[in-house]
Amino acid sequence: MKIWIDGDGCPVVRQTVSLAKQYGIPCTILCDTSHSFRTEDAEVLICDKGADSVDYRLANLVRPGDLVVTQDYGLAAMCLSRKAVPIHQDGFVYTDENIGGLLEVRAFSGKVRRSGGRFKGPKKRTEAQDRAFTLCLSQLLKEASDAGRNS
């Protein structure tokens, strides 16, 4: 198992890298040239700047059973198709059961924006969101660790 982080705009990089180190799981951060990460505890891959360049590279690198941290529903869908486990920065796991509805909302929102509609921007990130993410990722890593010991 490996942890992949869609680093473009990801607010939980530090928590993810810390938990990966704690569990001894390799971790890679992918980002484009407009973002910069420096850490000794994770590999950093820089992708060309451009629409979805990080997403496509990550989707091509991910393997079954890997964990992927992303807020991008499209990338999450690609990872699910590759039998990876995508997790949202707010602490929920994307599944085959919930991804369709999330993609429909994204498509509808895009249609509204293209026709001139507007939505409020995201609210300021809360400590509760950080705690929910850390709890969810910790649980996934603990389950994987327990499964590894029992096999």
Tens of pLDDT, residue by residue, the chain (151 residues): 999 999 988 999 999 999 999 999 999 999 988 777 888 999 999 998 877 889 999 999 999 999 999 999 999 999 999 999 999 999 999 999 999 878 888 777 777 778 888 777 778 999 999 999 999 999 999 998 888 776 6
Per-domain residue ranges of the chain: 3-146
pTM, full prediction? 0.87
Could you tell me the two tokens for 55? Answer: 């997403």
CA dihedral 120, 125, 131, 132 (to 10 degrees): 20
H-helix or E-strand spanning residue 6:
strand 3-6
Closest by Cα among 2, 6, 20, 7 to 134: 20
Statement: 3-146 belongs to CATH 3.40.50: yes
